[in-house]
């Protein structure tokens, strides 16, 4: 839906068009569903939220992180990204372009035995997301500290998403919640 407004430029009214981007529409949908799981259903607790407009490269990034209620080992995060090209193609209505944005999921988990737990984590992720999405696990640790690793697990979706996938978001979030629950026990 476009909302028309006008600006007076040299005594000439020029229409301004306001139209939410694919990024905005998906962001609002994801945000509403996650906050419903928090506030209405009590399934999870939102632990962080960022909404960044990077003026250096004119990109957008929205991140919402949460933990399942009663769980303390895994933090899940959903990330929505739009580049200047994605946003520009959509706003300028570039012919032949497919407006959309990137989606990725992250899990943060402390592990003590990388040789055992990392393959087990990959098996859980494969169960929920299939073999077409290749997870990346990045381990880090604090020198001189306890023998624990911080594991940042990223699931990048290889294609752009847009409003056509809006109906798939509840199922995606359900898988995300189930996966986070299973990762608690790895």
pTM, full prediction: 0.85
In a domain, 45, yes or no: yes
In a domain, 60, yes or no: yes
User: What is the span of the domain harbouring residue 94?
Assistant: 20-183
Task: Give residue 119's pLDDT.
Answer: 97
In a domain, 150, yes or no: yes
Model confidence band, residue 2 (pLDDT cutoffs 50, 70, 90): very low
Q: Cα(99)–Cα(186) distance, rounded to whole angstroms?
A: 38
In a domain, 10, yes or no: no
In a domain, 63, yes or no: yes
Q: What is the mean pLDDT of the chain?
A: 90
Model confidence band, residue 27 (pLDDT cutoffs 50, 70, 90): very high
In a domain, 129, yes or no: yes
Model confidence band, residue 147 (pLDDT cutoffs 50, 70, 90): confident
Q: Positive or negative, the Cα torsion across 37, 40, 41, 42? A: positive
In a domain, 48, yes or no: yes
Model confidence band, residue 120 (pLDDT cutoffs 50, 70, 90): very high
Q: In the chain, how many domains are there?
A: 1
In a domain, 6, yes or no: no
């Amino acid at each position: 839906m476009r909302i028309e407004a006008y600006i007076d430029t040299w005594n000439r009214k020029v229409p301004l068009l306001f139209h939410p981007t694919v990024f905005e529409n998906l962001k609002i949908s994801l945000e509403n569903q996650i906050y419903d799981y928090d506030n209405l259903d009590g399934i999870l607790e939102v632990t962080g939220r960022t909404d960044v407009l990077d003026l250096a490269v004119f990109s957008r990034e929205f991140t919402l992180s949460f933990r399942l209620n009663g769980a303390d080992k895994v933090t899940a995060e959903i990330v929505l990204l739009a580049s200047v090209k994605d946003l520009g193609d959509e706003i300028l209505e570039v012919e032949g372009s497919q407006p959309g944005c990137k989606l990725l999921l992250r899990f943060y988990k402390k592990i003590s035995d990388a040789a055992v737990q990392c393959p087990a984590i990959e098996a859980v992720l494969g169960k929920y997301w299939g073999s077409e999405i290749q997870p990346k696990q990045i381990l880090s640790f604090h020198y001189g500290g306890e023998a624990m690793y911080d594991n940042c697990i990223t699931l990048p979706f290889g294609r752009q998403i847009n409003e056509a996938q809006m109906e798939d978001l509840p199922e995606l979030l359900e898988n995300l919640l189930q996966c986070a629950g299973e990762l608690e026990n790895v």
